Amino acid sequence: VEASVRLAMFGGYRVGTWEADGLHEITDLLSTEGPFGAPYRMNELIARFDDLRGAIEDRRQTGPIVDPAMVRIETPLPRPTNYLAAPLNYRAHKAEMSGPIASGGTSAKEMGFFVKASGSITGPNDPIELPKRPGRRFDHEGEIGFVVGREARGVGVDEALSHVFGYTLLLDNTMRMTETEREERTLRKSFWSLNPVGPVIVTADEIPDPSQLTIELDVNGERRQSGSLGELILDIPGLIAQASAVLPLLPGDLYATGSPAGVGPIVPGDQVRISCPEIGEMSFAVTERSW
C-alpha cells in the first residue's frame, strides 16, 4: 500500500502536497490556466491522479518547497461539480433534531441527499461570517466529507469505495427554521463562508475502512461534537450507491457524510475548531458578515 498523499491549495489556486518539510508544489503538472481554469485544478488532478502519481511522488521527494506559513492556505476543493450532503445520518443527532426547528424524523436512508451550493465553499483561513438575519439561529455541524475519484454511475455497495479518492473535513453550518420561517434546506445550508472545506484532501490509500475515521468539534475550547463514521446510519458505500442511482458522481465531487450529535448555536465572537487525526484540523473565528 502506498502512503496517502495530503493535497492542498494555496496562494491563489496553486496545488501542492503537504509534507513534513512544507508544501511541495505540483501546479505545473496541471494544464488548466487562466483565472477561470485555476479553481478547477484540483478536479483535474483528481481525474488524472493515476497518470500523475509517478510525477507527484518524484515531486514529494524533491520539492520545490513552499513554507506553509508564507502563503495563504485555501480550500483544497473550491469547485466540486456536485456538492451533496446526507441529512440526519447519526442516530444520536437524529434524536436531538426532533421538534419545530427540524424537518422531521427520517434519516439519510429514507431521504437521500440534499444539495449544497458549491459556490458557498471557503477555506481554513476564512472566518465564518454569519449573515444578517435578525432572530435566526445558526448551528455548527462538523462533518467528514468524501471526495469522488472516478465517475460513479449506478454503482453497487460492493464496488462503491473504489470510487472514493479521499477524505476532507468540513462544516455544514446551518440556519435553522422557525415556526413561521421555513426556507428550503438548500438555502439554509448554502450561505457563503458557512461551508469551509479543508485543510487538505487525504487520499484513501491508507484508509481502506473509512468507518475508523473520527471527528471532534470544539466551540471556545469546549468539546461539543465527537463521532466516528462507524456510527453512520447509511455508510459511505450506501451513500454512493444511493446517489449514483440518481446522477453520475464525478471526479472531485464532494459528499458531506452527516453530523454527529451535539449540534448547537454559534454566534459572532465564537471560535470553532474541527479535527480528525488522519486529516488534520481547522479553526475559525465566527464574525458578522459586512454585506
The C-alpha atoms of residue 156 and residue 57 are separated, in whole angstroms, by 32
Quote the least distance from Cβ 259 to Mn ion, whole Å: 4
Nearest CA to 222 among 257, 262, 268? Answer: 262
Among 141, 216, 218, 235, binds Mn ion (CB under 5 A): 141
Give 183 or 205: the residue with its C-beta nearer to Mn ion: 183
Give 56 or 86: the residue with its C-beta nearer to Mn ion: 86
The C-alpha atoms of residue 162 and residue 110 are separated, in whole angstroms, by 24
Quote the least distance from Cβ 105 to Mn ion, whole Å: 16
The strands making up 128-130's β-sheet, listed across from edge to edge, are 128-130, 280-288, 271-276, 214-219, 222-228
C-alpha separations of 103 from 98, 99, 176, 239, 267 in Å: 8, 8, 10, 20, 22
The C-alpha atoms of residue 196 and residue 257 are separated, in whole angstroms, by 15
Window 258-287: residues binding Mn ion (CB under 5 A): 259
Quote the least distance from Cβ 45 to Mn ion, whole Å: 26
Quote the least distance from Cβ 153 to Mn ion, whole Å: 25
What does DSSP say about strands 6-10 and 222-228: parallel, antiparallel, or unpaired? unpaired
Give 74 or 141: the residue with its C-beta nearer to Mn ion: 141
Site map 154..173 versus Mn ion, x via CB under 5 A: ------------------x-
Place of cell 479518492: 165
Q: Tell me the window of 26-34, 39-47, 140-148, 275-283 that interacts with Mn ion (CB under 5 A).
A: 140-148
Q: What letter represents residue 58's amino acid? A: D
Quote the least distance from Cβ 135 to Mn ion, whole Å: 22
Give 4 or 259: the residue with its C-beta nearer to Mn ion: 259
Window 30-69: residues binding Mn ion (CB under 5 A): none
Quote the least distance from Cβ 40 to Mn ion, whole Å: 25
Give 230 or 269: the residue with its C-beta nearer to Mn ion: 230
The residues, any chain, with a CB within 8 Å of residue 124's CB and separated by 6 or more, are: 73, 74, 75, 196, 198, 199, 282, 283, 284
Binding site for Mn ion (CB under 5 A): 141, 172, 259
